[in-house]
């Protein structure tokens, strides 16, 4: 098998996942997942809550064993050579690896000891990381007093102590305020520019759009689409018409009157007060017709226009529900319901 010394010579994909299955008792978390990430690239793994993202990350980082299938990181098999895999990876997970009673500096130092770095290297790395993640001022305070954003930055810093070749980030910006989110994106871009291969899970489609070379969408433990952001948008095709309804109480009425122009159920954003329709390739005709129908009902709108589909539209058309919705609203859940119904009729 591979030894840590051939880390620099492996020319194959950085990450290879072949036909992986994983169940937790009755729950089938992964049903035949395939993934490939070339060295130095960023894969965005997208999916709603419960899709199986964390399970994929845990298997790739040797924290869980797959029931079947093959998983290689830089050519090293996660089941047969877990220690060799751990030598070259970093992980920043959803459950932070931070020890609360210790300071940020101490946390980083302990991580360096785990990787057998000598004291001089540890001191240098710790200072570099504290500076890079804007934690120097807080370095000598116990981390239990850190804000959510600071803890997230320290968690990411901890995953970088050993300069990993392949880095796994499980929802790195979930729960962060917009400013910290942009800061995290900047750090991630720097890492990728330095040659790190990255697998990033996220529920935020704009994040995948910004950072990922390649996107894989999973839902209910299966890959349902893969490609670049542009490829996925082209796959949905056509235009999206969007408008805001001035009188919020008439949102439902507005959606209803334009419904027949849309290829799928119009999407109502109750918070933003807007309606969007996926109108295929006939955007200008549909736009004229939208204006006519809304006018005839005297529904006042703002910002009416045609736009290209976003990744959110792609996601909605693929899964039938938004990325940030609970899985209870998914069509698969409804299908399961109808199967049960059929059974009862037998
Ligand atoms: N340790 C576990 N025991 C039982 N079920 C689990 C466990 N971990 C995950 N699951 C289930 O597996 C599915 C996938 O979970 P997960 O990989 O955490 O999804 P995601 O990260 O996309 O939200 C979910 O249905 C979840 O409830
Ligand atoms: Mg998760």
Q: Looking at residue 278, what is its pLDDT? A: 85
Q: How far is CA 162 from CA 115, 127, 135, 244, in A?
A: 7, 14, 18, 49
Lowest mean pLDDT among 64-78, 257-271, 294-308: 257-271
Beta bridge partners of 239: 280
Does ligand 1 come within 6 angstroms of the Cβ of 68?
A: no
DSSP 7: G
Asked if 4-232 and 238-308 have one fold, the answer is no
What is the distance between the alpha carbons of residues 32 and 19, in angstroms, rounded to a whole number?
4
- Report the nearest atom of ligand 1 relative to the CA of 55: 17
Which uninterrupted H or E stretch holds 201? strand 197-202
Identify which of 48, 54, 61, 315 to mutate to test ligand 1's pocket (most ligand atoms within 8 A of the CB).
54
The pLDDT tens digits of the residues spanning 276-325 come to 998 887 788 899 999 999 999 999 999 999 988 877 777 777 776 655 55
CA angle (132, 84, 188) in 5-degree steps = 25
Question: Ligand 1: does its nearest atom lie under 6 Å from the Cβ of 54?
Answer: yes
Q: Which CATH superfamily is domain 4-232 in?
A: P-loop containing nucleotide triphosphate hydrolases (3.40.50.300)
Reported confidence tier of residue 153, pLDDT bands at 50, 70, 90: confident
Look up the CATH number of domain 238-308: 3.30.70.920
Residues 289 and 183: beta-carbon distance below 8 Å: no
**∠ at Cα 200 (194, 332), nearest 5°?**
160
Query: Average per-residue pLDDT in the chain?
Result: 85
DSSP one-letter code for 318? H
- Kindly give the pairing relationship between strand 197-202 and strand 214-219: unpaired
Which positions ≥6 away from 288 have C-beta within 8 Å?
none
Atom 3 (ligand 1): residue with closest C-alpha? 24
Whether the CB-CB separation of 47 and 324 falls below 8 Å is answered with no
pLDDT band at 184 (very low <50, low <70, confident <90, very high): confident
CA-wise closest residue to 208 among 46, 14, 318:
46
- Report whether 144 contacts 100 (CB < 8 A): yes
Rounded CA separation 292/297 (Å): 9
Pocket flag, ligand 1, residue 53 (CB < 6 Å): yes
How far is residue 199's CA from residue 57's CA, in Å, rounded to a whole number? 8
- 326 Cβ inside 6 Å of ligand 1: no
The residues pairing with 302 across neighbouring beta strands, listed in sequence order, are 244
Q: Where are the domains of the chain?
A: 4-232, 238-308
Say what the pLDDT of residue 190 is.
85
Q: What's the CA gap between 164 and 89, in Å, rounded?
A: 5
pLDDT of 7 above 80 = no
Residue 233 pLDDT: 82
Distance 333 CA to ligand 1 centre (A): 16
C-alpha radius of gyration, the chain, whole number: 23
């Amino acid at each position: 098998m591979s030894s840590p010394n051939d880390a620099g010579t492996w020319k194959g994909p950085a990450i290879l996942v072949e036909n992986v299955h994983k169940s937790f008792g009755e729950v089938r978390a992964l049903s035949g997942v395939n993934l490939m990430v070339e060295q130095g690239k960023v894969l965005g793994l997208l999916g709603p809550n419960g899709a199986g993202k964390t399970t994929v990350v845990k298997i790739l980082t040797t924290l869980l064993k797959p029931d079947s299938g093959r998983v290689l990181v830089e050519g090293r098999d996660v089941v047969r050579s877990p220690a060799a895999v751990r030598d070259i990876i970093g992980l920043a997970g959803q459950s932070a690896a931070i020890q609360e009673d210790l300071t940020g500096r101490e946390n980083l130092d302990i991580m360096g000891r785990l990787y057998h770095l000598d004291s001089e290297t540890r001191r240098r790395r710790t200072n570099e990381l504290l500076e890079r993640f804007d934690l120097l001022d807080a370095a000598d305070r116990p981390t239990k007093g850190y804000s959510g954003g600071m803890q997230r930055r320290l968690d990411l810093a901890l995953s970088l102590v050993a300069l990993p070749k392949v880095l796994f980030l499980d929802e790195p910006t979930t729960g962060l305020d917009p400013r910290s989110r942009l800061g995290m994106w900047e750090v991630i871009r720097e890492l990728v520019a330095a040659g790190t291969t990255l697998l990033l899970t996220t529920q935020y489609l704009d994040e995948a759009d910004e950072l990922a070379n390649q996107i894989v969408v999973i839902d209910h433990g299966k890959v349902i689409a893969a490609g670049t952001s542009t490829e996925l948008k082209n796959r949905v095709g056509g235009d999206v018409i969007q408008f805001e309804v001035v009188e919020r109480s008439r949102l439902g009425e507005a959606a209803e009157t334009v419904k027949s122009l849309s290829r799928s159920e119009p999407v109502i954003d109750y918070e933003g007060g807007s309606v969007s329709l996926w109108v295929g390739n006939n955007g200008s005709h549909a736009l004229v017709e939208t204006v006519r129908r809304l006018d005839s009902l005297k529904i006042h709108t703002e910002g009416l226009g045609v736009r290209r589909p976003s990744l959110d539209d792609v996601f909605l058309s693929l899964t039938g529900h938004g990325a940030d919705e609970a899985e209870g609203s998914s069509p698969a859940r409804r299908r399961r319901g109808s199967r049960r119904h059929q059974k009862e009729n037998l």
